[in-house]
Amino acid sequence: MLSHKTKYALKALLYLAQQEEGFIAKTMDIAEGSNIPKKFLEQILLELKRGHFVSSKQGKLGGYYLIKSKNTITLADIHRLFDGAIALLPCASLNFYEPCSDCKTESECLLRLGLVAIRDKTLSAMESITIASLIKK
C-alpha cells in the first residue's frame, strides 16, 4: 500500500507535469490543484527536490518545476524515494536487501522464492508506468 506521502508526491508531480514547459508553480497552487495539505506538500516537495525530480526558484515569481522528464519518472522511482523497498521482505529486495535471521538458507526458503517473483512483477509494472503515461490515460 502506498503511503499518503507517496500518493501526494505522485499527485504533485502529475500537477507539475500537466503545466506548460517552463511553468513554475507556487506551492499553494499545487496544494489546491491536487487537494494536498500545504504544510505536508512543502515537506514532500523538499524531498522531491533532494531526489532531483523537481527544483525551485525563490522570490515573488518563484515556485517549483520539473527538472526530470515526465517521460522518465516512474512509479517505482517515487515509491522508492518515499516508501523504500518494493519487495515485501528485505530478503527479496534489490536495493534494500537484508538476510532474514529466521531462515536456515535463502536458497531453500520457499517464501523468499515466491516473494522475489512478486517483487519482479510489481517492479516491472511500476517501472513501466511513468508520470507522462498517467496523464495520457
Tens-place pLDDT, residues 43-58: 999 999 999 999 999 9
Mean pLDDT of the chain: 93
Whether pTM > 0.85 for this model: the answer is: yes
Contact present, 65 and 24 (Cβ < 8 Å)? yes
How far is residue 11 from each of residues 4, 8, 18, 22, 75, measured CA to CA in Å? 10, 5, 11, 19, 11
Q: What pLDDT sits at residue 137?
A: 66
pLDDT-based confidence at 101, cuts 50/70/90?
confident
pLDDT digits (tens, 9 = 90+) for 56-88: 999 888 999 999 999 999 999 999 999 999 999
% of the chain beyond a pLDDT of 90? 72
